[in-house]
Amino acid sequence: MKKIVIILSVITLGFGTNSCSDKFDEIDINPNSTEKPLSYGVFNSTNKELMDNTRDQWQSARITLPWVQYSAQRAYTEEDRYQYRLTTGNALWSFSYRVAKDYKTIIDLNEDPQTKLQTANYGPPENQIAAARVMLSYVFLNLADSFGDIPYYSYGNQDPDFQALNIDLTLQPKFASQQKVYRDIMNELKEASEMISVNDAVFSQGDVLFGSGAKLKKFANSLRLRVATRVKGVIPEAAAHIQDAIASGVMTSNDDTVGLKYENNLVNPSPLYNDFRTRSDFAISKTFVDLLKGNTGNFGLDPRLFKFASKSKLSPAEESDGTNRTLRQRILDGSLIESTDPNDFNGMPYGIPSSLAPSQASSANFFSKNILKPDYTEIFMEYAEVQFLLAEANGWSQTNYVNGVRASMERWGVPAADITAYISTLPPASQQNVLTQKYIALFMQPYEAWAEYRRTGYPNTLLLPGQTGTLNVAAGGNTTYTFTSLIAGLTDLPKRLFYPTTVQTLNPVNYQSASSAIGGDKMDTKLIWDTN
């Protein structure tokens, strides 16, 4: 199914010899693949590959998770200071197009005369195609948000600039403009929503993501609301899409949240849990802990702190229970007792030099056992976010704002009494308060939080280059440091990722054109909606 790798290899060989040219068809056949895969199997494996690669220690925990200061590294802090490994950005690009090709395979299976009758046995073709279109929109949204102009594929639009995923016609696709990409994503989500049969399943078996056409439709409309909100004021049609998406039906409860739940085993565990088994590089950021403790921002102590982070040390009872298990071991086996004492939470200072990291790591907090567990659910989009989007659409609505906070707390299992007490102290809805609460709710969804910060400038509690932070020190005073970006000229969060080096090499003409069109292949080049 991954023909592009094979074809590129063949082209490379072709420059040196023609002796294999008559065996191309043999080379292009994978003996371990099937010509008639199960569409629901393709869908599930592709969803997992997407989450495995966007929420792991590389594309997430070493790029966007620290950049939005949900986390901070306990040892190698160069990436926190924006000097990310270019191979990581290359991987984000390559696997995104790989999964996009697999989502397109679901469309092909439902339209190819040789496979569509068999594929119809696994669910209504319209719903299967709609699911693939929605997930393609999700993938291309993340690519455009991360890089800017990109090679793009559309199911419903035959624009000559949309040349991605068609390797039979071109191995050097054009980069479509951001305006075209975002405009088409909104249209794709609208059309996909309209073709869904809500009374039918998406897949009649094996569907672990949606379960019903009705839930898929709400996800499609909610995702369109996200995209349209991002580009409102930049793309004229966005305002109409906002209203139409809401009218067409968005998420209405936490039951509508779309997430991929991993298995409670070591065969298919969640990516960060699997990474934490062998590495302990990542801690929750002091910046985020200070916000949740009420030390910064406009809010009081947030009980989600105790759900998001582990405590920094064992209790006396745990130390003396005779098991000799470390704090890290207790997180992994789920036995660590939660603390509700704010003094047990410090966070890891963000953006410090690597030389200072060892002195801070011992008092920093890991993520909690609610996150670092094998059967953790990675979220594509949740109901709380929809409420914050509605709050913005409705002029910073107090009702939607409160609903969003409540939904987030309920999803994380905060006790009802604590939710009521916290909401009773909320400051009134405003742009700053709504968007800061949205940032808290997007915890562990760092690519979306990164996009929202670039769009809005909130939260305004992040530590930026040139600003002074405080180290965790023993009693007797504070020690400060200055956060220094390792990328010259970058005085805020990165605006985008560099285009992959492989693209510069294999598609140089279109790379140069795209780089020029966006204003330069630099980390401080703003995307079209980054206008705050």
The tens digit of pLDDT for each residue in 204-228 reads 999 999 999 999 999 999 999 999 9
- The mean pLDDT value for 297-306 works out to 98
- The per-residue pLDDT for 5 is 39
Percent of the chain having pLDDT more than 90? Answer: 90
Does the pTM surpass 0.75? The reply is: yes
CB 263 within 8 A of CB 220: no
- Segment (H or E) for 380: strand 377-381
Q: Are 105 and 1 in contact (CB under 8 A)?
A: yes
CB 478 within 8 A of CB 367: no
How far, in Å, CA of 184 to CA of 155, rounded? 10
Boundaries of every domain in the chain: 1-33, 36-52+78-264+491-518, 271-481
Q: Is the pLDDT higher at 328 or at 19?
A: 328
Neighbours of 7 (CB within 10 A): 16
Q: Which of 467, 530, 495 is nearest to 82 (CA)?
A: 495
CATH class of 36-52+78-264+491-518: mainly alpha
- The per-residue pLDDT for 478 is 73
Q: pLDDT at residue 323 above 50?
A: yes
Res. 20 pLDDT band, cuts 50 70 90? very low
pLDDT at residue 36, rounded to an integer: 76
pLDDT of residue 473: 79
User: What does the buried/exposed string (b/e) look like for 398-420 if buried means 16 or more CB atoms within 10 Å of the residue's CB?
Assistant: bebbbbbbbbbbebbebeeebbe
Q: How confident is the model at residue 475 (pLDDT cuts 50, 70, 90)?
A: low
> How long, in residues, is the chain?
532
Question: How far apart (Å, rounded) are the C-alpha atoms in residues 126 and 146?
Answer: 30
Helix (H, G, I), strand (E, B) or coil at 176: strand
Q: Tell me the per-residue pLDDT of 47-71, one tens digit each, with 9 for 90 and over.
A: 999 999 999 999 999 999 999 999 9
Q: Is the pLDDT of residue 30 over 60?
A: no
Mean pLDDT within 352-378:
96
Compute the average pLDDT of residues 304-319. Answer: 96
Q: In the predicted model, what is the mean pLDDT of residues 508-532?
A: 97
Q: Which two tokens stand for residue 21?
A: 């040219």
**CB burial readout 373-384, b (16+ within 10 A) else e:** bbebbbbbbbbb
Distance in angstroms (rounded) separating the CA atoms of residues 185 and 154: 8
pLDDT digits (tens, 9 = 90+) for 384-428: 999 999 999 999 999 999 999 999 999 999 999 999 999 999 999
Nearest to 350 by CA among 296, 425, 392: 296
How far apart, in whole angstroms, are the C-alpha atoms of residue 272 and residue 270? 6
Q: Which residue has tokens 């990722």?
A: 497
Closest CA to 528 of 114, 16, 180, 76: 180
Q: Are 276 and 371 in contact (CB under 8 A)?
A: no
Range with the poorest average pLDDT among 118-127, 160-169, 468-477: 468-477
Rounded average pLDDT over 426-441: 98
Query: Does residue 15 carry a pLDDT above 90?
Result: no
Whole-number mean pLDDT of the chain?
93
Q: Quick one: angle between helices 178-195 and 125-147, nearest 10?
A: 160
